[in-house]
Structures are given as structure tokens and as C-alpha cells.
A and B are shown apart, each in its own frame.
Chain A
Amino acid sequence: MDYKALGLMAGIEIHQQLDTREKLFCHCPTMLREIADHNGEFSRYLRATVSEMGEIDRAAQEEMKHDRKFRYYTYDTTCLVENDEEPPAPVNDESMAVCLTIAKMFGMTPVPQVHTMRKLVIDGSNTSGFQRTALVAFNGKLPDGGLIETICLEEEAAQRVKDEIFSLDRLGIPLIEITTSPCMYTPEDVQKVAEYIGMVLRSTGKVKRGLGTIRQDVNISIADGARVEIKGVQELDLIAEVVRREVRRQISLLAIRDDLRKCGASVDATGGADVTTLFHETKSAVLKKAKKIHAINLKGFAGLVGREIQPERRLGSEISDYAKKCGVGGIFHTDELPAYGVTAEEVNRLRTCMHAEKEDCVVLVAGTSEKQASCAAGQVILRAKLALSDKPVPEETRKMLENGSTSYMRPLPGAARMYPETDVMPVVIDDTRWEAVIIPELLTTKAERFAAAFEIDRNYALQLAASEKLPLFEQAVQEGIKPKLAAFTILSTTTELRRDGVDIRTVPDQAYLDIWHAVGSGKAAREAIPDMLRKIAEGSSFSEALAQLAPVVSREDLEKIIRNIIADRKDFVAQKGTAAIGPLMGIVMAEVRGSANGKIVSEILKKEINAATPRK
């Protein structure tokens, strides 16, 4: 696809959790907890409040379409600030320091006086109904000439447990938000920039690691389409695919609009018709349960509601997402019926009742009340009209689904969602503070340094620099351990063990250092490292693991073992000569269960084979 010709413009927002001692606006640890450990819960409602201009933010309005009671889990590591029962503490200074470091790494200009704002978010993920956020610096540069518009320091939202239940452990963890300008023109560009920014962030050594600690939002538009913000792309590898699929969605929506117009499609704005009585005898569980069923006849929409616009997404999915905002489970439409327990006869009756022609598509919404059903019908009409309009791609905030397709969340928020946080004092960033910020070495620079100094492969060095175990590696080198040994253990051995299902995270850094020192001083064989790590991961101490797995076989014993092995395979050795070293090596190592140095084994093997083979 020629993305440049399509006018693709994309920007990203990267949200990265910081690894600070305390949260951004309270003194709780930035620690994630197991749900089972929660020690209490409470429940709240949230209501959209008017902005200083007397408006309610359109995104907030959308979340208010039906009353939602939110439940929150508390922990012994959360406090009244997360509960929205105590005013916030001043901005956490350690977080501000990390944010300024990152700003300086991108060559940004700091804001002289940083003001904390409240960004209205009433989907339940913030107990207060807003996310505190502060603009800290602007005008950063990317190496390829792209621009970083702003960097903000924000509080992380609460994690959704399921439905309307949230866990408060994550709420308030400091987060930085980096926003680029729309300076990317291909899906691959977007991924590359995201990777680069992620690398810079990790270079500080002060960011959290692991799935969910960094999230990308992608802003995408094509010519004739609209700006769409896709939230919560957690896997970097998916970014390019998300962009490709969004472009496809926008193109498809434009094409559907053209086809609708060709068919003379129209949407009657007067609302849905009550068709509850048509389905009194229905076998469809959803319709049977419903108190009110409304139907909307979309004239000229037949076939198009069911047309795919993204893998596993149709125009019908978009309409359904809008209806769900009223609390209904979704919609049925005649492009996909009869199905789901709705019979052909029922479809015919429905079509007759709605005066639907062959080229029309009838949409059904089933609600628990008249209010809910008519709300959902209104949303169906709204979305269908958009599909037919001059701007068939609505400006939206969308949520990424598992495979890279997206679903509708809410309209793009406006400036009306920002309100000053009156409980937090501004923070002054003066020249003295800015000049004192030290820029850490970039991981890529570090990798080049490693590659040169330790004679390791460049890619390997890059992996090492990016590894969570980088501090361990640097300490090992400082303690005189061979860099290659440490690097191999950190990158290869642990990966293999993890693949075997060993929970390698439980092994403390000190155990790695002890093992390497043991190998270095000849107390353990290099080959015993995986088994020792496995043993320690299973709960043994280093000394237990050492005693069990690495009793070093004495040279004398080793020579005896090797002589026996050679004697047992006399013919083979005679035939192969020194070429038998390789195959025999494995047999010897299996016999001593890794408790010997491979180099010494090979040396003895060579000597003994030479001794055993008659010279020609």
C-alpha cells in the first residue's frame, strides 16, 4: 500500500511508568499487587462536571450515558489519597527528576513553572474522576528529524480487574507521557520511533519494566479520513500492524460511504420503533431477556453493515460499539440474521413491520428498559448517519483489541476536559535545577562500548544493554568476572531456563555473582551453571546448589573416568583418533554431570586418546 499517497500521518504518545520509591501524589510504594491480597473495597459513582466554560467534555458525556457504580479494591500499600479521601501530597520530587532527565535527553525546553491539571476521565479508572497531569517540557528532537511536542508527568490510572471493578495498587504510579508530532508517514516509521523512544527511556534506569509498564497510543489519520487515537498498544511489535489496520478501516469506511450514496441510502432520524411484541415467542436468549426491543430501518444499508472494514470488524461492529455506551450488550442486524436464535420467520415479520425493502438493513437493540433501548437506538442512528456523512470516519478514541484491530471507546476529548488541580502547588524549574540534570549514557552508546571493550557481538551487546540485568552485568565486570561468562548467563542461559518453565526471577543477583566467582576460581564448572540456577530458583541456597551440583571432580578421578570411557570404546577410538574427542566429550560430561571444566576434559581426552592409539 502506498501510505504516502494515502496521506498517512501518524504520531505517538508513549506512556511509561517510572520506577520511583513513592507514588506521584502520595507516599505509597509504586508496587503492583496480587488481586487476592486486597484488604478492602468501596464503591462510588462518577459524574461529569462542567468545565470553566460551562461545557461538559464530550468524551465525559459519552461515559455518562448510563449510571455506573464502580468498585475499588484497596491494599495495605494504598492510602486515602488513592481512595480520593485525602488531598494529594506535593508532586513527588524523584519523579520530577526522572522526567527532567528524559526531557533533557531529548533536548527539550522545560516549563519555567509546572502546573498540575486535572484531566477529566470518568470511566472509573480514577477514583477522583480525573487524572492529574502536568506539562513539564516541550520541543524535543528525534534523531531522524521528527519532533517531540511535549513531555508530561502524570499519575497512572487504576487497573481494571473486570467490568466495573478496579484495583488501586496501580493508581498514582508516576507515568511520563511523551507526545510526538504527526511526523511519521509509514507504519514502519511509527514502530521505529516507538522503539527509539523506549530505548531512551530505559537508558535512565529509572523506568519500570515488563508488560503493561509501557503503553503506546497511536494517532492516525489519512487524507479524507480523520484523526483517530488508538489507546493501549502494549506490544511494540504490533504498532505497525495497528497502523496498517487503521488505514484499512478508514479506507473501508470511505468506500462504504460512497457505496451507500450510490444506493441512495438514508437514515430516518425519528428514532427506533418498538418491536418488543414481535419477539414474545423468540428462541433468542438475548431478545427473550429484553424488556424493550427497538428496531431501526437503515434504508439502503443492506450488505454494507456486514461488510468487513478490519479483520473481524464490520460497520456493524462500529454501530454496536456506539449502542453499548447505553449499557446494552450489542446489536443484531439483518445482514447477519437469521442467526443467534432469531428465525427466518421472525426476520420476515420484522422486515414487514419495518416496511424494509430488500436493500434495507434493520438493526435491533434490546434493552432492560425503554430508556436504555431508546438510548441505544439513538446511538445506532447517530453512527449510521456518520457513515453516510461527508466525514464518514468519526474522530474517535479507540481501544486496541488483541490482534491489532480496534473498537470504539469515546469521542476524542476536547480542551474542556482540563481543569486546574487546585490542591497541588506549582513547581518551579529554574536554571539551577535544569543545569544540574545529568544526562545518562544511551543504551545504544553503552552497547557499542561493551562490544568494543569486551569483544562481544554488537547485537548481543545491545541486548545486554537493554536487559533488566544490566546493573548485575556491570557489577560483575567490576568484580572481575569474565564479561563473556556474565553476558552468556544473563542472555542465553536464563532464556533457556525460562523456556523450560523455571521461574528465574526468584534468583537473586547475589546468587549469579556467587556462581560466577565459583566458576572463575575453579570451584564449579561452567557447565553446571544452568543446573545451579535451576536449583536456586527452586528454593535452594547457593551453597546447597554448589555442594549438590558442582563437586569438582579431581584431575586424578577425571583421568580415571576418561580412561575407562576410552577403554570401553576401544574400536571407536582406534578408528577415529583425535576426531573422537568431540563425541566422547558429551559422554564424559554426562558422566560427571557437568562438574568438570570442559577445557580440562578436552585436554585430558586428547592426551589419553593419543596414548591409547598406536602411532602409525
Chain B
Amino acid sequence: MSRRGVYITKRDGMAVVKLDSGYNIGVPPASCSLIEHPAPVAVTQPAVVQNKNLPTLAIVSTGGTIASRIDYRTGSVTSQFNASDILTAIPALKEIANYRTIPLATILSENMTPAIWQELAGAVHAEIKGGATGVMVTHGTDTMAYSAAALSFMIDTPVPIVFVGSQRSADRPSSDNAMNAVCAAAAATSELGEVAVVMHATTNDDTCAIHRGTRVRKMHTSRRDAFQSLGIAPIGEVGYPSQNVTLAKEAVRRGARTLALHDALDPHCALVQFYPGMSPGILKAYEDYHGLVIAGTGLGHTSTTLIPALGRLVEKGTLVVMTSQCMHGRVCDRVYDTGRDLLDAGIIEGGDLLPEVALVKMMWVLGNEKDAGKAAAMMQENLKGECSRRSPHGL
């Protein structure tokens, strides 16, 4: 008995065919015969009218799939990116603002590079200069926190720059994309005046948290509330579906900073996690690096055997900054002998900097400050809320 279907693609040596019922099945290609080439079906997209009386938001896309659907030729999910696509997918956005869309890149966020951060900073800066009330950056979640930190250092912004993405793909009815996007748009039109990440605060569809771009980390592989503020509380929240934005008193307000772009970065920096038994030989690979962040154990330690090699890096001019793989808390290398030996070897304590933020900050500091002593001092200064002098109770 033969069956009709639409040939879709070849996968693992099988022809994937879509039956009339909508089911796909895989069959040997030799068992299929061509009936006809169907005329391509035009995908109809209703035109969306934007409300010009609302504030203007720029949406810069880096490949985060805020609106996406499967591409049958490749079997992969493709990003749909123009204002109509997005507003058709998420109609509630229409009530918040009118939108300019800037497709900057279509990459998976693990393929992000410092060079793209620079392009992104340039594009965002141009939009703010052009009068945008706020900017939304759609971004894959894997490295969103790195990019948010990078833009925090690279742009002095008077308006909100809000990173947003989704943990569950946009092609599913339960995706967090719509709620995150609506909350991000609300935050981008709010009184906020700094770089932030806006994502689900809990597993419920009721609140998004506004995280400072230099204090946020992806803390779960798949949950909606993967993004957490570390070392400080979130700087605000957005209710859903109310779209009410509440900002903490610590949040930088709209207009507090004057627009400026400082997009120089030194990408010759690295981040290394220490582990028991780590061979000093590994550090040889970093001899040419201008900067190295260590994610040490506990208060900020490596094994004693690693210290001479770290000392040699410092001597040759590498800026070495110690952070902790504990994520929570502050580095202190003055408590134990190992720590004191590390300080003697010339490493710099990274305070309560998150390891990844320390890396991004190091790239920015070394890109903008050529004096080694001043650069080291800057690593310990609070530039964009990335570190603090006090460790408050209750966090």
C-alpha cells in the first residue's frame, strides 16, 4: 500500500516525508517516487501598523530567537526578524512602543566574540544617539551575561539597554519569549538608565527580574529563571501581564549618565578555572596573554605548586586577577599562607567580581588603559556596579 506525502529533507540516510495527517516519517529514499513538485506556498504575513505616538524602541538582534519557526529544508529553527514578524508573534508589544529593528548578527550565542561585542556596542550607541527611548538586545542565553557585561563597560548610557532572550524556544506555545519580550520592552521604556538583563524571575509566568548587566549569571541550564543576580539583589522587576516596572533604589536612573562610547577591547585575555592537581604547565599557554583571570577555590586560592608559574606570568607583564569559583562572596588572599604567597607573586584580588565579568572587564580595562599599574587599580574600582566595597547581609 502506498502513501502520499510531502518530501521534506534527508536525515540519517532516510527521506523524511510529511503525511497528510501532519505526521513525519522516515523511509528509505529508494521507496519514494516523485508525483509532482508542488508550487511554493507563499507565507502570508499580515501588515502590522505601529503606533507612532508611543516611544520608539530599537531592537538589535544578535540571533536570539524572539520570533522563530522551523525551516523545513534544514530542519532547524530560523530566526524571523523584522518588526512585523515580531509584532505578529507577540502582539502585546504593539501597546508598549513602536519599534526599529536592527539585525546585527544571526549567531548562536556560544559563537559570540569580543569583535561582535564591539559591533553591537556601536549599533546600540548609534540607536541611542538617534533618539531611541531604549534599546532591546535579543540574545541567545548561553553568553548573554558576558555580552551584557561588555556593553555595560563599553557604553555610558542615559537610557535602558535591555538584553532579553528565551530559555524555551519561541516555536512552542509555552515559550518564555513573549513574556520576556513584553517585560523587556516595559523595562526599556521605564526610568531605568543602565544595561540590564530582563528574564523570568521564577518558573511562574508572573514576574520578570531586572538584573544589572555586570552582576548577572546564567545559573541553570534550562529553567526559565536561569538568570540570577549574584552579590546584589535584582535592580528591579516587571509584573506580568500588568507590565508594571518597579526599580530598586540602587538602579541607575534614566538620564543619570551622559551618552559615550568607549569600545576599545583587548581580547588577549583569558579565564582559567583552578582545580586540584592542576599542572603548572597549563599556564605556559597563557604566556603571551595580557591578562588572566583565575577562578580560584574558596577565598581565592590555587595550589602552592601553581604559584611560581603565576609569578612568572606577572613578571612577564600579564595582569593576573583572582576571583572565586564560589560565585557568592568576596576574594580574600590575606587569610591563609597560600593567599599571601599569591599576593607576593603579584596577583590582584578581584573582590566580589564574578569570574566572567572580571574577564570582560579586564578586556575593557586593558583596551583603554595602557599603564599596567593604573589598569590593575581599575580592576579593583567599581566602574559600572560590577563590584562593591560592602557585602550586604541577606544575599
Are A112 and B22 in contact, with the CB atoms below 8 A? no
Are B70 and A42 in contact, with the CB atoms below 8 A? no
Interface size on A, residues (CB 8 A): 52
The interface residues of chain A lying within 8 Å CB-to-CB of B168 are 84-85
The interface residues of chain B lying within 8 Å CB-to-CB of A83 are 203
Check if A47 is an interface residue, CB within 8 A of chain B: yes
Q: Mark A88-127, 1 if CB is under 8 A from B, else 0.
A: 0000000000000000000000011111011110100001
Check if A483 is an interface residue, CB within 8 A of chain B: no
Are A54 and B44 in contact, with the CB atoms below 8 A? yes
The interface residues of chain B lying within 8 Å CB-to-CB of A196 are none
Q: Which of B8-59 contact A (CB under 8 A)?
A: 11-12, 14, 16, 18-28, 41, 43-45
Check if A487 is an interface residue, CB within 8 A of chain B: no
The interface residues of chain B lying within 8 Å CB-to-CB of A51 are 69
Are B26 and A115 in contact, with the CB atoms below 8 A? yes
Are A112 and B28 in contact, with the CB atoms below 8 A? yes
The interface residues of chain B lying within 8 Å CB-to-CB of A133 are 23
The answer for the CA separation of A134 and B18 in the assembled complex, in Å, is 12
Q: A52-B69, A128-B174 are in contact. Are A418 and B23 (CB under 8 A)?
A: yes
Are B241 and A43 in contact, with the CB atoms below 8 A? no
Are B25 and A111 in contact, with the CB atoms below 8 A? yes
Are B205 and A69 in contact, with the CB atoms below 8 A? yes
Q: A122-B173, A128-B172, A417-B22 are in contact. Are A54 and B27 (CB under 8 A)?
A: no
Check if B206 is an interface residue, CB within 8 A of chain A: yes
Nearest residue, chain A, Cβ from B224: A85
The interface residues of chain A lying within 8 Å CB-to-CB of B1 are 139
The interface residues of chain A lying within 8 Å CB-to-CB of B202 are 42
The interface residues of chain A lying within 8 Å CB-to-CB of B12 are 113, 426, 428
Q: A42-B204, A44-B205, A47-B178 are in contact. Are A52 and B25 (CB under 8 A)?
A: no
Within 8 Å by CB of A426, from B11, B44, B167, B178, lies B11
Q: Mark B62-96, 1 if CB is under 8 A from A, else 0.
A: 00000001101001110000000000110000000
Within the complex, what minimum Cβ distance (angstroms) separates B218 from chain A? 14
Are A67 and B241 in contact, with the CB atoms below 8 A? yes
Are B171 and A419 in contact, with the CB atoms below 8 A? yes
* Prevailing SS type, chain B contact patch: loop
Q: Mark A425-453, 1 if CB is under 8 A from B, else 0.
A: 01010000000000000000000000000
Within the complex, what minimum Cβ distance (angstroms) separates B8 from chain A? 9
Q: Mark A46-64, 1 if CB is under 8 A from B, else 0.
A: 1111111110000010000
Check if A422 is an interface residue, CB within 8 A of chain B: yes
Check if B319 is an interface residue, CB within 8 A of chain A: no
Are A85 and B203 in contact, with the CB atoms below 8 A? yes
Q: A114-B26, A135-B19, A418-B22 are in contact. Are A42 and B173 (CB under 8 A)?
A: no
Within 8 Å by CB of A113, from B14, B20, B45, lies B14
The answer for the CA separation of A448 and B206 in the assembled complex, in Å, is 60
The answer for the CA separation of A42 and B174 in the assembled complex, in Å, is 13
The answer for the CA separation of A119 and B21 in the assembled complex, in Å, is 11
The interface residues of chain B lying within 8 Å CB-to-CB of A122 are 173
Are A112 and B204 in contact, with the CB atoms below 8 A? no
Are B174 and A44 in contact, with the CB atoms below 8 A? yes
Q: Which of A118-158 contact B (CB under 8 A)?
A: 118-120, 122, 127-130, 133-135, 138-139, 150, 152
- Counting chain B CB atoms within 10 Å of each CB, which of A86, A113, A135 scores highest? A113
Within the complex, what minimum Cβ distance (angstroms) separates B382 from chain A? 35
Within the complex, what minimum Cβ distance (angstroms) separates A573 from chain B? 78
Are A112 and B72 in contact, with the CB atoms below 8 A? no
Are A112 and B14 in contact, with the CB atoms below 8 A? yes
Within the complex, what minimum Cβ distance (angstroms) separates B242 from chain A? 13
Check if A87 is an interface residue, CB within 8 A of chain B: yes
The answer for the CA separation of A567 and B21 in the assembled complex, in Å, is 82
Are A43 and B172 in contact, with the CB atoms below 8 A? no
The answer for the CA separation of A138 and B23 in the assembled complex, in Å, is 12
Nearest residue, chain A, Cβ from B1: A139
Are A115 and B43 in contact, with the CB atoms below 8 A? no
Q: A45-B205, A50-B89 are in contact. Are A87 and B222 (CB under 8 A)?
A: yes
Within the complex, what minimum Cβ distance (angstroms) separates B69 from chain A? 6
Are A43 and B173 in contact, with the CB atoms below 8 A? no
The interface residues of chain A lying within 8 Å CB-to-CB of B88 are 50
Are B206 and A115 in contact, with the CB atoms below 8 A? no
Are B69 and A50 in contact, with the CB atoms below 8 A? yes
Are A80 and B222 in contact, with the CB atoms below 8 A? yes
Are B206 and A43 in contact, with the CB atoms below 8 A? yes
Check if A264 is an interface residue, CB within 8 A of chain B: no
The interface residues of chain B lying within 8 Å CB-to-CB of A113 are 11-12, 14, 16, 25-27
Nearest residue, chain B, Cβ from A109: B1
Within the complex, what minimum Cβ distance (angstroms) separates A371 from chain B? 14
Within the complex, what minimum Cβ distance (angstroms) separates A568 from chain B? 77
Nearest residue, chain B, Cβ from A149: B21
The answer for the CA separation of A133 and B167 in the assembled complex, in Å, is 23
The interface residues of chain A lying within 8 Å CB-to-CB of B41 are 53
A-B contact pairs, 5 of them (CB 8 A): A49-B170, A85-B167, A112-B27, A113-B11, A113-B27
Residues of B within 8 A of A (CB): 1, 3, 11-12, 14, 16, 18-28, 41, 43-45, 69-70, 72, 75-77, 88-89, 167-175, 178-179, 202-206, 221-224, 241
Residues of A within 8 A of B (CB): 42-54, 60, 67, 69, 80, 83-87, 111-115, 117-120, 122, 127-130, 133-135, 138-139, 150, 152, 415-420, 422, 426, 428
A sample of 11 more A-B contacts (CB under 8 A), given A54-B45, A417-B22, is A42-B202, A49-B170, A49-B172, A52-B69, A53-B43, A80-B223, A112-B14, A115-B24, A139-B1, A418-B18, A420-B24
Of all A-B residue pairs in the complex, the 5 with the closest CB atoms, nearest first, are A129-B173, A113-B26, A418-B22, A54-B43, A415-B22
